[in-house]
Structure 1
Amino acid sequence: MEYTLVLVWLAVLAALAAAATPFATLLLSPLPDRGSGLGLPVAIAVLGVASYWVGQVAFGWPGIVVALLVVLAGSAYALSRGHVPERGPAVEAFVVFVVGFALVVAVRAADAAADPYAGEKMLDFGLLATLYRAPALPPEDMWFAGDRLQYYYGGHMIAAQLGRLTGTAPAYAYNLALAAYYGLTVAAAYGLGRSVALARGISPRRAGVLGAFLVGVASNLSTPARGLILLVQHLQQPITFSGPVDVLLAPLRVLFLVVPNDTVQVVTPESGGRFVEIFGYQFSGLAVSADAFGYWAASRVIPWTINEFPLFAYLNGDLHAHMMSPPLLLVAAAFAFAYWQAPADAVWRKRAYLFAAAPALGGLLAVVNTWSFPSVAGIVALTTAFAATHPASVLPAPVADRVRAVADASRVHEEVSRLVVAVVLAGVVGALSVAFALPFFSGATSGQYPALLPDRSSLVGLVLVHGAFLLVTVAYFLDRSRVDRDALETGLLVAILATLAVANLVVGWVGANLVVVAIAGVLGAFALETSFRDRAFVALGVLALAAFAAYHGSMVAFVAAGGAALFALAAALLDDDRPERRAAVGLAVAVATLAGVAWVLDATVLVAVVPVLLVGMVLLRLRRDVGFEVVLVLGATGLVTLVEFVYVAERAGPGRLNTVFKLYWQVWVMWGVAGGVMLADVASRAWPRWLVSPTLARAPTASARSASADGGIDADGDPETDGGRAGGGVDWGRVLRVGSTVGAVVLLVSLSLYGGFALVGHFEANPSQHWVCSRSGETGQGEWTLDAKDWSEECYPNQAAAIEWLNDREGRPVVVEAPTTGRYLYGSNDPASGLVSGVSSHTGLPTIAGWAHAANYHTQAEWDARVAAVETLYETGDASERATVLREYDVAYVYVGPNERSRYDVADLAADPGIERVQRWGDVVVYAVDRGALVDDETASDADASTNASVAVTRPVVASLLG
């Protein structure tokens, strides 16, 4: 029974977790829970490192044995030194793993197929099968026979090792490995998030659960936005009172009828495609109802990029590199957190983290997913730059002393020296990571190169993808800014007005939202002290005139009026002698400047994300009750900013498509863990009273006035008051706390909508008739299974039988089959069979040329030569030409199936010496090649000469007979 394998995998992984957890507590002892919740991810990292290096000589069981010995020896030593794991975190983390593992097992059981549609499952299954067969590393490329595999294969290597350890065939290991990697990702997110929260005094269990949710379950805001669009369209219908729901929605309908809605336009072009355009951003492929929900659109939010998140990816079912690296990236982050937590005098431990653990994990990540390994160096740079101890402390003593002498000269010297040393340390870690993975990098062929200034992301696109994380981060930072409340309100007003002024230019939303902006401005002005209201109203009036001018096309008038409003308000506020107010205005002007630069460069990331990055850096250096969670935020926001200006040009996709795709995954994982910690705090914190406007609180009590006059402050650094009540008024502190909790719940529900709709749709649609079957004209009824090849046996029984016969061959014999072209790639344009390059992909046996994008990892010229050679092999009538190809690529079998017959005029191969038909399944034939019996050039020449002589003799005789 195949589902017994589920229990086997759980048992083996539980044993690995139990064996490795003491070792993890030794390695990560500075963590508050000593890394007790990270035992299983650490075990997988050890398995990967050992398998990779031992595999250079002999891949398979030798690497597994070495990994187990390292884990057991490390744990035995840890226990002998008193490093006993905490049971609670270890058990909780494994429970999270089991839940994640079970979810993906269920998802894959409903649709287990490793087919060529909607992804790269054929590549992924082929890599897994190849590594089952590989005697050593690097393995031979199954789509480029005779050459080493150029693609990053480390994740499939670990999956193959887990398959060996559990006695699982590749057909089942594919889906079970998917489930294991998802479980590892959410478990690592839980373990790291829990530990970071514990160090911060935040509920560890709540933070861990929220981190696991944000990483593994939450979606971006695309689905909630699409749902809101449907709601808006419903609300804009004529008001009726046919039922209680209509009565409740009537006030909202009035609002949407009053406020202009020209920014929300339903467009139906001549092609019939329906989409909604909002602020210049097009929501295409809109469902007309919840029943018509499609899971794909949420992964394509920013045009010409891929914006996947974990739940989408695991639902789609590729066992791809970017889905297998997150657990290892989080282990690297855990080691960085251990550096962060280590005491100042633990110099050698910190050096071990930087120059041993980080390069080993960085090198492993290079082999698993090359896009991820630079992030290890980035995390190192951020961690060392913002840790309590100066990064020079890990350098040799003479060098450290000289750096410290420079740093002590001034605050500027301190900050600059920190950044310089941190960058140098990150560079060393990067170089050591490359050295660790040198067998992988050596001999690699790449057509990639860095490029600058790609197409930018729109403000709407950035908000849809990162908006939830931005919201949580801003709320978390706001609570820790602790600036003067009046200065905060004033600065925010200036920033909002300046940002709106530029936003009017960038997205042109004045015409639709002028009423809303005016209402918000008036309310904000009333929140100010009386002496500042007049200035605020003047600024709002000038802004309204500027908006009117811009709306009617006078750009010069708009810029002049907007600039005058900003200058007048800033000048009035700078006339104040309080430094807090000047600082707030300075920050506001900085935001306005960023907004202006964003408009000039068409880079809205400078307004949407960079301010969060800068504020996070300031809070870390000011030690404003923040910790390692903000380091993760800086890493995430740094990557979001980076891809707006730099990308990797390559043949795998146009422009920055693949760069955004691979880096946004890392953004999601890092920001998700940090978001769990921050959201756990935001949702439960008693908000500081400086956030409560005196206008709302009416007036402070006499005791509060006295305490403020005497300089009394509470534990939060705020003036001591009566808890937010003013003369028996409302307890606004509690209102804010309840409001933040409700807001957190609303946010979590919104982020869960995608998962609810997508999973229900997935289980309702599957198992059913497979799409691949219907495309080929055949039918087949699906059933619950974990067999990734079951679809082929069901839809293409003859081809599946032939492939399974070839799969039973020992070693790695080369099999010839038709390579894919643009027509066959991803099964497009109805190929004769969905089993495109099915032999190599489903067996791991090498073929001369497989899928077309193998050219991306080798060279196009080599690929074209191989495609031409295969065409010659199938079609030529010259036995010597065919024999030349068979010898050159060391071919053992020739496969002829529907795709080969539809693409080539296949010759009578069995007529050639050395080629024998050994098996036939309907229209599928397999030929065996005896290379020793093939015709050679000399024999072919003799045969041709004999034939020509015979013809020369025969012609006169025939002529005389006819004459």
Structure 2
Amino acid sequence: MTPEFQVLSVASWLLVITFLQLALYPSLKKCMRQYAFPASFAASLLIFTILTWYCGLARLPVQFGLVPFTLLLAYHIYRHDYAWDELKKEWRWELIFLIFFFLMLTVRFVNPTISYAEKFMDHAFLASVMRNPVVPPLDPWFAGGTMDVYYYLGYWVFGCLGIVSGVPSNIAFNLSLPTVLGVAAVTVYAIGTLLLDRFRWLPLLLFFIPNPSLFYQLITGSSISSALWNSTRTITNTINEYPLFSFTWGDLHAHVISIFNQVLLIFLLIYLYKYWESLESRGRWLICGLAALSLGSMPLINTWDVLIYAPITVIVAAFIILRGWKKGQGISSWGQLIAIPPLSIIIYLPFYLMLKTSTGGIALVRTPSDPFQFLLVNGWFIAIFLLLLVKEIRERPYFLLVAVPFVFAGYIAAAIAAIPLIYFIAKKEHSFPDLLAIFGLAILILVELFYLKDNMGDTYFRMNTVFKCYVPAWIILGISSFAMVGAWFARPGRVPVMPARKSAAFAVLIVGFLFIVPFLVPLDLNYGGRTLDGLAYLDSSHSGDASGVAYLRNLTGDERIVEAVGGDYTYYSRISSFTGIPAILGEPFHEYMWRGDTTSWYSTRPAGVKSIYENPDQTVALMKKYNATLLYVGDVERETYNVSLPSTGLEQVYTGQGTDIYRIAG
């Protein structure tokens, strides 16, 4: 796609996001005051998501999701709620969003390819939503199946943004992570502003710092690229990603998409905790409603998050209620808080009624993390907490005994986390960063003790639990520790106030350097870049597929396709992944993890595909069995099967550069 089209795509995408945000912003001003503008970024995305989701459920065009925002914008214009002088004061929030958006866009520009890791899956889901935005979305890797076996809402929101902005999926794929980072950064800066009078930018460091393991890898001789990867595989047989790696690696995966929603809920809980007594009833309902929407969206975006944030929400609400009870406030003032959990379930109730996935339950970890590996992942936060707790440790050293039971039981990593945890719990007065530290450390300890059973096997039994819990833990601990550091720096006599001009010049230098870094680090992994088209690399590496995919992406209607079946994380499943057209079977192990094998499809579907290509007397009958309308024959199919097609029953609809596409006749 031409550079001009890509520039227009970025502009159209940003225009839609700005429209949604500005339409909602005045509605939040009365109760959220100076935080209404930053909060409206993430909140408007979630509201747009639920509106379009119900449109998909009702089989209505998702463009109808723009109607309430249009009416809201017209209403606020009619009431003169957009004062230019007020909007000018919000420039720093917009600037933060744009800096982080374009910083991540630069990373995607350098490495845009939909080519490795989970990118096939991520684009397959995105393309499926954009091709046929219905609820539940069609599973592009299991013809006849739907995504009611997976949490897909993150792909839904960006697919719908692509639809209403007119941006195709291969470019929307590379605009989605910049949006996640931009919206998350605005919200984290708002959190910093809520918690700090100075150094409000410090919590933003959670997006930039690597874990200590990266430096250990470099010191021990690893290259930059291998060190980055190895730093996320530090704890044996687990994945321990952190935001810098996740955004750089570039998978548009559920655990990354969810970051913008996680920080929104943290922001809303801090705001409620800080301003609950000063809020009017209407304001309480509005903010609690947004908290319910955020919490309720978690099971659909990344289900693991709700296991962490639902208890946190209940605990914060309990703290507010307890504080009000001590002040003699009646139960009527708590109703909105109590309503958050049930509302969070009700708003997406149809999702739970359709959901077909399950978990194997909770089990005890019998091979806990090596303590050195644990510190290589979480060492920064543990070190910051212990340094800030030196006074408390000197005053009450006997609390160190809390580590003894964990040590004797063999859970030394849990013992390490338990030491700062007990001192934060023992504080007489708890700031919100203290509470966040307690939550984050508790996550680390629980993950050392327990795991959720899945079908990853005995070797990787903890992989998903550590993977999905460590990202929220990093976010919570990052906000907590850097807010504490900011408060320490701000104490009288510690760090003098820098003049505004010097501060601005320093910020410009830092931002300028960050924009240069993606061009200095080898991020493209030899796939090429300098484009926002995630499929552009096909022109040089798989020219036959490039033209075949281009033809298929222009088809509309209910189509299903036959393509070669092979291993996961390979070039197989590429046609369904690039087009969103459901194949008889895509990456088999992914589908097995989601669906199990109760109907023996794990063997019958690959065998059926093989027969379609190799047994001409069965080709048409088997295609009809799976309601397949198209048959794709490219280099991968010819390498995998002894292709022999029938002389009748199929009509060739496309041929070019070694690729042939057939349709069932009639």
Answer whether TM exceeds 0.5 for this pair: yes
Cα pair distance change 1:892/1:305, threshold 3 Å: same
Cα pair distance change 1:390/1:73, threshold 3 Å: farther
The question of 1:172 aligning with 2:171 is answered: yes
Note the C-alpha offset of 1:163.
1.6
- Name which of 122, 146, 164 aligns with 2:120: 122
Cα pair distance change 1:851/1:606, threshold 3 Å: closer
The question of 1:58 aligning with 2:59 is answered: yes
The question of 1:636 aligning with 2:440 is answered: yes
Distance 2:328 2:351 in 1: 30
Distance 2:634 2:104 in 1: 34
How do residues 552-563 of structure 1 correspond to structure 2 at under 5 angstroms? none
- Name which of 916, 938, 941 aligns with 2:651: 916
After superposition, the C-alpha distances for 1:191-218 in whole angstroms (9 at most, x for unaligned) are: 1221222xxxx31xx22x111122x111
Partner of 1:528: none
Partner of 1:9: 13
Distance 2:451 2:27 in 1: 39
Cα pair distance change 1:145/1:477, threshold 3 Å: same
- Name which of 784, 790, 804 aligns with 2:530: 784
Cα pair distance change 1:767/1:590, threshold 3 Å: closer
- Name which of 190, 201, 205 aligns with 1:213: 205
After superposition, the C-alpha distances for 1:538-581 in whole angstroms (9 at most, x for unaligned) are: xxxxxxxxxxxxxxxxxxxxxxxxxxxxxxxxxxxxxxxxxxxx
**8 A Cα contact 1:26 1:78, kept in partner:** no
How do residues 643-792 of structure 1 correspond to structure 2 at under 5 angstroms? 643-651=447-455, 654-686=460-492, 737=494, 760=517, 763-765=520-522, 769-770=526-527, 782-792=528-538
**8 A Cα contact 1:358 1:376, kept in partner:** no
Q: Secondary structure at the match of 1:58?
A: coil
Q: Which runs of 5+ in 1 are unaligned?
A: 231-285, 402-420, 482-487, 492-583, 687-733, 742-752, 771-781, 828-833, 933-963
How do residues 324-723 of structure 1 correspond to structure 2 at under 5 angstroms? 324-344=257-277, 348=281, 352=285, 356-387=289-320, 389-390=322-323, 429-454=340-365, 455-478=367-390, 481=392, 489=394, 584=396, 588-592=397-401, 594-619=402-427, 622-623=428-429, 626-651=430-455, 654-686=460-492
Residue type of the alignment partner of 1:180: T
Note the C-alpha offset of 1:134.
1.7
Identity of aligned residues (%): 24
Residue type of the alignment partner of 2:266: A
Q: Secondary structure at the match of 2:41?
A: helix
- Name which of 549, 569, 574 aligns with 1:838: 574
Cα pair distance change 1:213/1:802, threshold 3 Å: same
The question of 1:314 aligning with 2:252 is answered: no
Q: Secondary structure at the match of 2:231?
A: helix
Q: Secondary structure at the match of 1:296?
A: helix
Partner of 1:279: none
Residue type of the alignment partner of 1:802: G
Partner of 2:502: none
Residue type of the alignment partner of 2:66: V
Q: Secondary structure at the match of 1:813?
A: coil
**Paired residue total:** 642
Distance 1:920 1:19 in 2: 48
Distance 1:372 1:850 in 2: 27
Residue type of the alignment partner of 1:458: D
Residue type of the alignment partner of 2:274: Q
Q: Secondary structure at the match of 2:246?
A: helix
Q: Secondary structure at the match of 2:452?
A: strand
Distance 2:179 2:281 in 1: 34
Distance 2:437 2:47 in 1: 27
- Name which of 295, 302, 305 aligns with 2:238: 305
Residue type of the alignment partner of 2:398: V
Partner of 1:561: none
Distance 2:28 2:539 in 1: 44
Q: Secondary structure at the match of 2:663?
A: strand
Distance 1:357 1:70 in 2: 20
**8 A Cα contact 1:105 1:179, kept in partner:** yes
Cα pair distance change 1:793/1:303, threshold 3 Å: same
Q: Which protein shows a greater Rg? A: 1
TM-score in terms of structure 1 length: 0.61
After superposition, the C-alpha distances for 1:661-697 in whole angstroms (9 at most, x for unaligned) are: 11111112222222332111122324xxxxxxxxxxx
Q: Secondary structure at the match of 1:138?
A: coil
Distance 2:340 2:130 in 1: 32
Residue type of the alignment partner of 1:664: Y
**8 A Cα contact 1:807 1:843, kept in partner:** yes
**8 A Cα contact 2:214 2:228, kept in partner:** no
The question of 1:183 aligning with 2:182 is answered: yes
Partner of 1:850: 586
**8 A Cα contact 1:105 1:175, kept in partner:** yes
Partner of 2:619: 882
Distance 2:16 2:332 in 1: 46
Cα pair distance change 1:684/1:27, threshold 3 Å: closer
**8 A Cα contact 2:195 2:483, kept in partner:** yes
Residue type of the alignment partner of 2:360: Y
**8 A Cα contact 1:371 1:662, kept in partner:** yes
Cα pair distance change 1:343/1:319, threshold 3 Å: closer
Residue type of the alignment partner of 2:480: A
Distance 2:73 2:326 in 1: 33
Cα pair distance change 1:395/1:459, threshold 3 Å: farther
Distance 2:131 2:326 in 1: 48
Note the C-alpha offset of 1:113.
0.4
Note the C-alpha offset of 1:613.
2.5
Query: Which of 467-476 and 188-197 deviates more?
Result: 467-476
**8 A Cα contact 1:647 1:659, kept in partner:** yes
Q: Secondary structure at the match of 1:448?
A: coil
**8 A Cα contact 2:440 2:476, kept in partner:** yes
Q: Secondary structure at the match of 2:660?
A: strand
Q: Which runs of 5+ in 2 are unaligned?
A: 499-509
Partner of 1:898: 635
Distance 1:638 1:291 in 2: 32
Partner of 2:505: none
TM-score in terms of structure 2 length: 0.87
Distance 2:100 2:278 in 1: 40
Distance 1:336 1:369 in 2: 19
Cα pair distance change 1:347/1:364, threshold 3 Å: same
Partner of 1:143: 141
**8 A Cα contact 1:362 1:374, kept in partner:** no
Cα pair distance change 1:291/1:122, threshold 3 Å: closer
Cα pair distance change 1:613/1:354, threshold 3 Å: farther
**8 A Cα contact 2:424 2:438, kept in partner:** yes
Cα pair distance change 1:395/1:161, threshold 3 Å: farther
The question of 1:19 aligning with 2:10 is answered: no
Distance 2:281 2:630 in 1: 57
Residue type of the alignment partner of 1:801: S
Note the C-alpha offset of 1:219.
1.1
- Name which of 800, 804, 811 aligns with 2:546: 800
Distance 2:31 2:132 in 1: 32
After superposition, the C-alpha distances for 1:747-795 in whole angstroms (9 at most, x for unaligned) are: xxxxxx9x9999858645366842xxxxxxxxxxx34111000111221
**8 A Cα contact 2:652 2:663, kept in partner:** yes
Note the C-alpha offset of 1:630.
2.2
Residue type of the alignment partner of 1:103: L
Q: Of the two structures, which has the highest relative contact order with CA contacts closer than 8 Å and spacing of 6 or more? A: 2
Note the C-alpha offset of 1:395.
13
Q: Secondary structure at the match of 1:299?
A: coil
Q: Secondary structure at the match of 2:630?
A: strand
